Amino acid sequence: TKLASPPAAADLEEMLNSLPQHTCSWSKGKYTLHKYQGFWSHRKLLEVAIPAQQSFKARPGDVFLCSYPKSGTTWLKALVYAIITRGKFDKSPLLTTLPHNCLPFLEKELEQIVANQKNSCFAHVATHLPYHSLPESILASNCKMVYIYRNVKDVIVSYYHFSREIAKLTMEDAPFEEAFNEFYQGISLYGPYWDHILGYWRASLERPDIILFLKYEDMKKDPTIHLKRLAEFIGYPFTIEEEKAGVIQSIINLCSFENLSNLEVNKSGCSNGFFGIENRLYFRKAKEGDWKNYFTDEG
Ligand code: A3P
């Protein structure tokens, strides 16, 4: 379903009401997703995403940080913000602001992004939209995209805890097995997962110059190499002097899970935006292989 121009509020409402809905079985009726253009999402996110699809005018030079939820978006946003604002680490806003509030999210902060366009020549914007549902201007303007991905089993576990906590359910109330089964069937926020990653992957084969794939586990193993690739790709390469001065390591340290998760703002704050999510929920364990604590041998 693609609309020709930004829908009026009443049309949008009607369209959203007509979408297939699914209330997740594990959620005790608290977590409902809507299916739009082949993917599942929250109604509130679609209320912004659909107008964004129709009206958002990306500019050449804008960079999009794309991901399936729970794949390392928070880390990627922190790293990109630290790269583009480097030079003032001791006073970095990342020390007092949730990374999600340092760079905007297309499906939440469209108005802010559009307002910012007047003041800055380009933007760094995050999105969970699948490739095929991105606003056309992003592709038409050849904007660069960074796609972060992660072992799907760890994504499932991370997603389970995040959505369970948002629904304020305990692990006993929200059986992991049910959440797993729904995810496996493709019913998860921005799911099906494989369609999401394959959409960007196929596009990256055709346009490797504009889509950079980063793997969460590789970044953990060798952050320096991947941070350099990332900085170069988004047009902020490190100079030899910066490398010698330890700038790369400073960014890695600033954005590390250990550092960010222990900051007061990320321990006790609450993020902006319509969901009012507690900041701590973005920082759980950040361990590779946590899935082994949840999956059975058959899994
Ligand atoms: P876990 O739930 O496995 O701990 P997203 O940012 O896309 O929502 O993904 C959240 C996952 O990234 C969570 O994984 C979270 O702990 C982890 N994470 C958050 N900040 C991180 C950081 N600075 N470095 C590495 N991982 C981080």
127 lines ligand 1 (CB under 6 A): no
Residues whose CB falls within 8 Å of the CB of residue 170, separated by 6 or more in sequence, listed in order: 164
Q: Which amino acid is at 24?
A: C
What is the pLDDT confidence band of residue 164, given thresholds at 50, 70 and 90? very high
- The residue-averaged pLDDT of 67-92 equals 94
In DSSP terms, 8 is beta-bridged to none
Q: Which amino acid is at 128?
A: H
59 lines ligand 1 (CB under 6 A): no
CA distance 171 to 160: 9
Assembly ipTM: 0.99
285 lines ligand 1 (CB under 6 A): yes
Q: Which among 34, 124, 128, 161 is annotated as catalytic?
A: 128
221 lines ligand 1 (CB under 6 A): no
CA distance 123 to 225: 24
Q: What is the mean pLDDT of the chain?
A: 93
Atom of ligand 1 nearest to the CA of 219: 25
pLDDT digits (tens, 9 = 90+) for 215-232: 999 999 999 999 999 999
Q: Is 196 a catalytic residue?
A: no
In DSSP terms, 127 is beta-bridged to 66
Q: Among 200, 209, 203, which Cα is nearest to 127's?
A: 200
Atom of ligand 1 nearest to the CA of 290: 3
pLDDT of residue 88: 77
CA distance 106 to 126: 6
What is the pLDDT confidence band of residue 1, given thresholds at 50, 70 and 90? very low
Neighbouring C-beta atoms of residue 216, cutoff 10 Å:
22
In degrees and rounded to multiples of 5, residue 264 shows phi and psi of: -55, -45
Residues whose CB falls within 8 Å of the CB of residue 121, separated by 6 or more in sequence, listed in order: 59, 61
Residue of 257 and 295 predicted with greater confidence: 257
pLDDT of 168 above 50? yes
Q: Which residue has the tokens 């001065």?
A: 245
Q: Among 252, 261, 268, which Cα is nearest to 287's?
A: 261
Strands 39-41 and 32-36 turn out to be: antiparallel
Atom of ligand 1 nearest to the CA of 161: 2
Nearest alpha carbon, ligand 1 atom 23: 257
266 lines ligand 1 (CB under 6 A): no
